Amino acid sequence: MTTEDIGVTFLSKPSIILYNNPQIFVSLGQGKWGLLEWNLAPTSNKDATSLACDVLVEDEGAWLTIQEIHMEMRSRGWPGSISSLQRALNRELGKPHKRVRREELHGFNILLYGLADRDWNEQAALARLLAD
């Protein structure tokens, strides 16, 4: 028995229905869709490290804590946990041509992240954290 025998027709392009009904469906990434009523946030097309780098680039020289980076990524629709961000940044730090650098504020046990090509200024980083 085939689909023709039972009168079923499959759409070759179901995305046409999904794209043309934004009041019903929300795109959750490549090939993934959900109902709008489920209150699902669309995911970012970027991986964690690339999105973290975008956050660091836009902050014009600031060195940020993992929590600050995570909060900004969440506001952009990234659904991951802080631990998955930490794992992604740790993988990046292990690469020979890394995009991200991690520095510690001595005496405070605070780790800050910045782009690898940025200068590290511990006094400026401490002043920014104390001002917040």
Q: Is the pTM of this model over 0.85?
A: no
Rounded to whole angstroms, the Cα distance separating 5 from 74 reads 49
Q: What is the pLDDT of residue 14?
A: 62
Q: Which of 4-13, 44-53, 80-89, 104-113 has the lowest mean pLDDT?
A: 4-13
Tens of pLDDT, residue by residue over 3-58, are 445 554 444 456 677 777 778 877 766 567 778 788 766 555 578 899 999 899 88
Q: Which two tokens stand for residue 67?
A: 């929590």
Domains and CATH numbers, the chain: 1-42 (no CATH), 48-131 (1.10.10.10)
Q: What is the pLDDT of residue 82?
A: 93
Q: What is the pLDDT of residue 3?
A: 43
Distance of CA 25 to the CA centre of its chain: 22
Q: What is the mean pLDDT of the chain?
A: 80
Residue 97 to residues 21, 94, 101: CA-CA distances in angstroms? 44, 9, 11
- What secondary structure letter does DSSP report for 44? P
Could you give phi then psi for residue 40, rounded to 5 degrees? -90, 140
Q: What is the pLDDT of residue 111?
A: 92
Q: Are 109 and 126 in contact (CB under 8 A)?
A: no
